[in-house]
Amino acid sequence: MANPWLEILQEALASEIERTKTAVPGAKLRAAVAKIASSRGLEFPPPGVKRFSAFVESFPSQVLLHRQPGSDILVAPVDRPDLITVSSSHAPAPNSRIREDLFKALTKLPMAETGKPHYVPSNNSVLWVKAGEPVPAEAIALPESSLENELAVRKRFAEEVDAAETAKEALLGALAQNSPLQGFSQAIHNFGLIKHWHTFRLGALNSSLRTWATDKAIPWQPDWVQLSEPRSLPLTVPSAPVSVEGKSGLAEIAAQLTQEDLARIHIPLDIVLRLLAKG
C-alpha cells in the first residue's frame, strides 16, 4: 500500500524543483508539504514527528537531505544529487555579512513608525514604507521578520550547534524567558558561541534572501552578501630612544595632520598622565 506522506513529499519536492531548478530548502518544502496535506484532509506533521528533517529522513531511498552548518537543510530526489551541489555553491563564506540595509530589513521586528521594507530593483536599495504611504510600482516587499521567526532560528541553532549540553540547555532556557532575544544573546556570550551564531544566522538569512529572490524572479546581486573587511591591527615596532631632532620632526609631522588624522592617534594613558603632571 502506498504511503500517502511519501506521495505528498514527492509531489511537493517535484513542484518546487520545477519552479526553482535547485534543491529545496527545508522551510520551503515543509510549507509545500503542509499545503498539499491540507488539501487532502491531512494534518501535518503526522503524529510522532517533531522535526521536519526527521520526516524527510524517514524516506532515505527516495530523497536526499543535505545539512549545511548555519543554514537550512536542502532536499532533493535521490536521483538528483546534482541539485544539492548547485545549491550548496550558494552558501556564504563564514567571514561574510549581509549588506547592512538588507540585514536590517530581514531582522528588524516590524514597527508602525518604521513601516515595512521593500526592495527597489532599479537602484538595488531598500525602501521602508509606512502604513498609508504609497508603494512605488516597482517596489517588492521583502520577507518580514517576526518574533516567532527569530525564536525559531535561535531554537534551531541551540539544537544543532556543536556545544556542550549545558550550553544547549542554557540557550533553550533563555528562549523561554520574558526577554528571549536578550537572554539568548547573553547566553551566546557566556558560552563563547558568538562566531558559531554569526555563521549560523548568516546562513539562515542567506537562505531566506535567496528563496525570496527566486520566488520574486529577482536576479541575485553580488553586493547582497559581502566579505567582511578585517580590522587592521597596528604594527608592533621596537621602541627606541627619540632624540631632540626626532622630537622636532614629530612635531612637524603632527602639524601637517588634519583633525581627523589626529583623532585616530592613541596615546598610552601613562604618557598622558606624565604630561599632565608636568603641566
d(CA 158, CA 166): 11
Helices (H), the chain: 4-20, 26-39, 52-57, 81-88, 100-107, 147-160, 165-174, 180-190, 194-215, 244-255, 259-263, 269-278
Give the type of residue at 65. L
> What tens-digit pLDDT sequence spans the chain (279 residues)?
578 999 999 999 999 988 877 888 888 899 999 999 999 999 998 888 888 988 999 999 999 888 766 567 889 898 887 777 555 555 566 567 889 999 999 999 888 888 999 999 999 999 999 988 999 999 999 998 899 999 999 998 998 888 899 999 999 999 999 999 999 999 999 999 998 898 888 888 888 888 888 888 888 887 888 765 443 334 333 444 545 454 555 555 555 554 545 555 656 655 655 655 655
Domains of the chain: 4-88 (3.30.420.610), 147-210 (no CATH), 244-278 (no CATH)
d(CA 199, CA 225): 13
